[in-house]
Amino acid sequence: MFKKFVQITALFNFPIAIGIMIPELLSPQASSFIITLVLASFLICIGAALLWAVSDLPRRAPIIVWNGLVRLFGFVVVTYAASSGMAPTLFIPIAVMDLITAAIYVLGSAKTTGIPVSSLIIGKSNPYQ
């Protein structure tokens, strides 16, 4: 079940990235062109990395954990931005979904592999390293 969840959420990265790229490619803005396309490329990369990671969870779980930590950071940023009036309210439910996904990624990686979160955060996929 955990592997399937990671696979599905990883696959969502691809249409999201394309959805971010298309408007910028259709109407390029000097102030956002590079950062938008690079960000979208990173989304594609992490989607591919997550799909790769689930094929060998005991050795690649740190990738999933770190994606969870990035999503957690995103939640914090959106929460701050929304409370300061810098982000649309529509971003809040998306950020909450990222928070839930982050928790599942971090806790699920630890539970599925039997490796403590602290070890996974520092990249140890073998608790006896």
Report, as an integer, the average pLDDT of 37-45: 96
pLDDT of residue 88: 87
The residue with greater pLDDT, 100 or 128, is 100
Residue 42 CB partners (closer than 8 Å, separation 6+): none
Domain ranges of the chain: 1-55, 57-128
| Rounded distance between C-alpha atoms, residue 12 and residue 4, angstroms | 13
| Rounded distance between C-alpha atoms, residue 25 and residue 2, angstroms | 35
The answer, yes or no, to whether residue 128 has pLDDT greater than 80, is no
Q: Which of 52, 56, 48, 54 is nearest to 13 (CA)?
A: 48
Residues 100/109, Cβ–Cβ less than 8 Å: no
Instruction: Quick: pLDDT tens for 64-117.
Output: 999 999 999 999 999 999 989 898 888 899 999 999 999 999 999 999 999 999
Residues 13/47, Cβ–Cβ less than 8 Å: yes
Report, as an integer, the average pLDDT of 20-42: 94
The answer, yes or no, to whether residue 125 has pLDDT greater than 70, is yes
